[in-house]
């Protein structure tokens, strides 16, 4: 019997093959979609989506009145990718009169306007250098050399102003790109430059690296000033243009905090001018002026002579990148007598009216001889008179009434020998040896501020404590931080501490008032309209051989004496022209800065007549 012929056999075979093919395709599709899908999608996204870093703006630094001392302004770093440049033709357009016209005027709807001709102005790196050089203020030949070649990319300029970048972008040179950056700007130039410090690119200093504080407040407050960079992911076309409506994801940058300082820019500028003038007129090496708010310990001005702009300091043009007022030490000289008097008054070893017989020369225990700065007969002075006259022979007699340990403890309590904690780098602690290490002479010299080393800031803080009824306020220069959202956070300071008996402090302050009167050594430091309490200091600098190597002239005082608001110290190192005395060299600077400080703080002048302790006994 013949085998039955199955109908549609061929069709079934074809269908079967089709089914098998379909199954294979489905399998492959499933493999691609399910197994390899995520990786392929990621790869595709990477090809289309580019990630751009959004640099965070470094925070501003402002003074107590909001005057901007340091800010960051947007700039661009210009890169050139040579492979896009080497075959570039710079096309220009000229009209019928042969006059050059812009591309916008020459081309409409992608076609040349009738009468306008396209001409090639130049090719490749040479042409790019020709048009870029004037904008970047560079030599065309040098720039052309940098752009030559067809591989790699190069940075042709950094910190280019926005307007310049826009002009470059308009040229539409392929391969030329700008990356957003920030430039640190100091609008006040050299004002407060030793406080502010400077910044530089972090790491190897390459363009694009974020700015980093290298000195001053820029360094100590770096953590607050630095923001957090953001990231933007966008879909781009093959030509590199962002596709509007395409994939876009942005994590915005968080700018750094604004740091508010306690200083006043006007007072700071005046203090710098005053100390520069004094240093120049006395042919001194350097000088410093510090103004402290007595009630809070806030620095109102901290000026060093010969300040350069932060940019100049960064370039190494300044002799020091820090503040001498904070980092340098000197022998305080007669301003150090205040410690001896404070100790005596605190321990009631003597009072302001205690009589002292003051010869020109005196020999103390262990055959230690001392003399005063100026010849005089034997005087019958009170302790207040000894301070006003700044007598060494009188001071050592009074200092002998207290123990060395008591004086040393007072030095420490008033902040000598330890850092003040000001938010500036490189602060010195000074050198105050313990009494058991003082030799027979040093135990006397420390009574009048020699044989010890202090910073100008420590001495200013010491007098501020005396002027503040014996309460030591923490010295600080950073007032607060303001976040980008506007939230203000006050800086945390150590609590004030009573380190000197209030009566002893007010008595000592009263004794210091005579210093700026006709009875004292610093009439030039008196501020018109205000009672002034202060102390002069003139210290001889000895060289290694024990010879004289100049002097340090200083004055430190409080204004107004009846209720001090400000303490100002002036130190001038090695004056070589004219007088060297603290009262005559540093006193006028104090008067100038003091008058301005009183006006700025709107302190009313002293109205009550000044009463002084008798200077002479008997």
Partner 1 sequence: MPATARSARPAAPARRPIPARVVTARPQPGPRQALVSILGLVAFVVALVVAAIVINTQSAVLAYEIHDAQIALAKARQDNAELQARLDKAASPAQLRQVAEKEGMVPAGATGYLTLASKRIDGGVAASEPPKPTTPTPAVSEKTPAPTKDQ
| Paired tokens of 107 | 């081309």
DSSP state of 615: S
Applying CB under 8 A, which of residues 181, 468, 538, 569 lies at the interface with partner 1? 538
Site for partner 1 in 383-412 (CB under 8 A): 390, 392
User: Taking contact as CB under 8 A, which single stretch among the options 5-13, 105-113, 158-166, 483-491 is the one that binds partner 1?
Assistant: 158-166
Give min distance, CB of 245 to partner 1, in A: 3
**Is 434:406 a contact under the CB 8 Å cutoff?**
no
For position 59 contacting partner 1 by CB under 8 A, the verdict is no
Under a CB-based contact definition with an 8 Å cutoff, are residues 34 and 41 in contact?
no
Q: Which of 514, 443, 455, 504 lies closest to 332 in space, CA to CA? A: 455
DSSP state of 59: P
Shortest distance in whole angstroms from residue 152 CB to partner 1: 29
Determine which residue in the list 17, 23, 73, 206 makes contact with partner 1, applying CB under 8 A. 73
Q: Does 374 bind partner 1 (CB under 8 A)?
A: yes
Q: How many residues of this chain bind partner 1 (CB under 8 A)?
A: 63
Name which position in 403, 491, 498, 540 contacts partner 1 (CB under 8 A).
540
Nearer Cβ to partner 1 (458/521):
521
Question: Toward partner 1, which CB reaches closer, 198 or 448?
Answer: 448
Cβ proximity to partner 1: between 288 and 596 the closer is: 596
Residue 560: asked if its preceding bond is cis (omega within 30°), the reply is: yes
CA distances, 396 to each of 186, 392, 400, 404, 431 (Å) = 49, 6, 6, 12, 21
DSSP-assigned letter for residue 605? P
Residues 276/78, Cβ–Cβ less than 8 Å: no
Alpha-carbon torsion (430, 523, 559, 349), positive or negative: positive
- Is residue 465 within the footprint of partner 1 (CB under 8 A)? no
x/- map, 513-532, partner 1, by CB under 8 A: --------x-xxxxxxx---
**Nearest distance, CB of residue 162 and partner 1, angstroms:** 5
Considering beta carbons, is residue 217 or 591 the nearer one to partner 1? 591
Which of 115, 161, 203, 252 touches partner 1 (CB under 8 A)? 161
Only one of the segments 37-45, 316-324, 464-472, 588-596 lies at the binding site for partner 1 (rule: CB under 8 A); that segment is: 588-596
Cβ closer to partner 1: 94 or 603? 603
Which segments within 16-152 are labelled E, that is strand?
Answer: 49-54, 61-62, 68-81, 89-94, 100-101, 107-108, 111-112, 117-123
Q: Which two tokens stand for residue 189?
A: 């130039």
Among the candidate windows 170-178, 425-433, 484-492, 577-585, which touches partner 1 by CB under 8 A?
A: 577-585
CA distances from 482 to 321, 404, 475 (A): 27, 47, 21
- Nearest approach in angstroms of CB 461 to partner 1 is 22
Tell how strand 61-62 and strand 258-261 pair up: parallel
Q: Select from 148, 179, 595, 603 the one that contacts partner 1 (CB under 8 A).
A: 595
Contacting partner 1 (CB under 8 A), which of 138, 371, 412, 441?
A: 371
Residue 605 binding partner 1, by CB under 8 A? yes
Nearer to partner 1, 93 or 555 (CB): 555
Distances (CA, A) of 548 to 540, 543, 545, 551: 7, 6, 9, 8
Tell the smallest beta-carbon distance from residue 534 to partner 1 (Å): 13
CA 457 vs. chain centroid, Å, equals 16
Q: Residue 407, by phi and psi: left (phi above 0), alpha (psi -120 to 50) or beta? A: alpha
Among 129, 318, 591, 597, binds partner 1 (CB under 8 A): 591
Binding mask 170-209 for partner 1 (x = CB under 8 A): ---------------x-xxxxx------------------
Burial class (CB in 10 A: 0-12, 13-18, 19+), 576: exposed
250, 228 in Cβ contact below 8 A? no
Q: Is 240 a binder of partner 1 (CB under 8 A)?
A: no
Q: Which stretch binds partner 1 (CB under 8 A): 196-204, 320-328, 452-460, 536-544?
A: 536-544
| CA–CA separation, 339 and 388 (whole Å) | 15
Token couple for 424: 């500036």
Would you say 555 and 536 are in contact if contact means Cβ atoms under 8 Å apart?
Answer: yes
| String of contacts with partner 1 for each residue 103-142, x by CB under 8 A | ----------------------------------------
Which are the contacts of 462, defined by CB distance < 8 A and separation ≥ 6?
Answer: 338, 339, 414, 415, 416
357 backbone φψ class: left, alpha, beta (φ>0; ψ -120 to 50)? beta
Q: Which of 55, 256, 333, 474 binds partner 1 (CB under 8 A)?
A: 333
Contacts (Cβ under 8 Å, ≥6 apart) of 88: 123, 124, 127, 128, 173, 174, 175
537 sits near partner 1 (criterion: CB under 8 A): yes
* Residue 468 binds to partner 1 (criterion: CB under 8 A): no
* Interaction between residue 599 and partner 1 (CB under 8 A): yes
C-alpha to C-alpha distances, 521 to 5, 266, 273, 385, nearest whole angstrom: 137, 29, 24, 11
Q: Examine residue 146 and tell whether it contacts partner 1 (CB under 8 A).
A: no
552/333 Cα distance (integer angstroms): 8
Cβ closer to partner 1: 460 or 521?
521
Residues at the interface with partner 1 (CB under 8 A): 67-68, 71, 73-74, 161-163, 166, 185, 187-191, 242, 244-245, 265-266, 269-270, 333-334, 370-375, 390, 392, 448-450, 521, 523-529, 536-540, 551, 579-584, 588, 591-592, 595, 598-599, 605, 607
């Amino acid at each position: 019997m013949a085998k039955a012929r199955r109908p549609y056999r061929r069709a079934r075979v074809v269908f079967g093959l089709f089914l098998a093919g379909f199954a294979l395709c489905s399998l492959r599709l499933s493999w691609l979609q399910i197994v390899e899908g995520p990786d392929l999608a990621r790869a595709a996204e990477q090809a289309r989506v580019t990630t751009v870093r959004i640099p965070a703006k470094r925070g501003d630094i402002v003074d107590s009145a909001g005057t901007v001392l340091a800010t960051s302004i947007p700039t661009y770093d210009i890169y050139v990718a040579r492979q896009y440049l080497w075959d570039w033709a710079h096309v220009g357009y000229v009209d019928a009169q042969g006059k050059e016209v812009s591309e916008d005027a020459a081309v409409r709807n992608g076609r040349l306007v009738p009468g306008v001709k396209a001409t090639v102005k130049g090719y490749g790196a040479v042409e790019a250098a020709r048009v870029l050089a004037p904008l970047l203020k560079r030599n065309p030949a040098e720039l052309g050399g940098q752009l030559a070649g067809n591989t790699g990319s190069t940075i042709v300029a950094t910190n280019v102003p926005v307007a310049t970048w826009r002009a470059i972008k308009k040229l539409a040179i392929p391969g030329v790109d700008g990356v957003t950056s920030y430039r640190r700007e100091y609008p006040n130039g050299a004002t407060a430059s030793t406080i502010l410090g400077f910044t530089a690119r972090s790491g190897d200093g390459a363009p694009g690296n974020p700015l980093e504080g290298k000195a001053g407040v820029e360094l100590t407050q770096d953590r607050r000033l630095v923001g957090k960079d953001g990231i933007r992911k966008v879909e781009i076309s093959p030509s590199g243009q962002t596709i509007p409506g395409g994939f876009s994801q942005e994590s915005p940058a968080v700018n750094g905090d604004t740091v508010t300082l306690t200083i006043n820019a006007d007072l700071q500028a005046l203090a710098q001018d005053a100390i520069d003038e004094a240093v120049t007129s006395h042919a001194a090496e350097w000088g410093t002026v510090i103004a402290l708010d007595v009630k809070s310990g806030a620095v109102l001005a901290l000026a060093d002579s010969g300040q350069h702009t932060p940019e100049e300091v960064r370039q190494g043009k300044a002799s020091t990148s820090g503040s001498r007022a904070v980092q340098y030490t000197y022998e305080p000289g007669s301003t150090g007598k205040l410690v001896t008097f404070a100790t005596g008054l605190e321990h009631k070893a003597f009072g302001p009216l205690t009589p002292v017989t003051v010869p020109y020369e005196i020999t103390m225990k262990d055959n230690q001889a001392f003399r005063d700065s100026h010849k005089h007969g034997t005087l019958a002075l009170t302790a207040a008179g000894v301070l006003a006259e700044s007598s060494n022979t009188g001071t050592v007699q009074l200092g002998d009434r207290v123990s060395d340990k008591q004086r040393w403890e007072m030095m420490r309590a008033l902040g000598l020998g330890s850092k003040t904690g000001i938010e500036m780098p490189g602060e010195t602690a000074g050198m105050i040896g313990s009494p058991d290490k003082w030799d027979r002479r040093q135990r006397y010299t420390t009574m009048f501020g020699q044989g010890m080393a202090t910073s100008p800031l420590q001495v200013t803080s010491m007098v501020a404590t005396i002027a503040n009824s014996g309460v030591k306020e923490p010295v600080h220069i950073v007032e607060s931080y303001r976040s980008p959202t506007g939230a203000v956070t006050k800086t945390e300071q150590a609590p004030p501490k009573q380190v000197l008996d209030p009566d002893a402090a007010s008595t000592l302050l009263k004794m210091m008032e005579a210093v700026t009167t006709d009875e004292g050594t610093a009439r030039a430091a008196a501020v018109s309209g205000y009672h002034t309490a202060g102390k002069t200091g003139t210290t001889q600098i000895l060289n290694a051989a024990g010879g004289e190597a100049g002097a340090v002239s200083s004055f430190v005082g409080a204004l107004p004496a009846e209720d001090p608001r400000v303490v100002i110290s002036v130190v001038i190192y090695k004056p070589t022209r004219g007088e060297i005395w603290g009262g005559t060299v540093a006193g006028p600077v104090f008067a100038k800065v003091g008058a301005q400080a009183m006006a700025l703080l709107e302190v009313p002048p002293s109205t009550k007549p000044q009463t002084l302790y008798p200077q002479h006994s008997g």
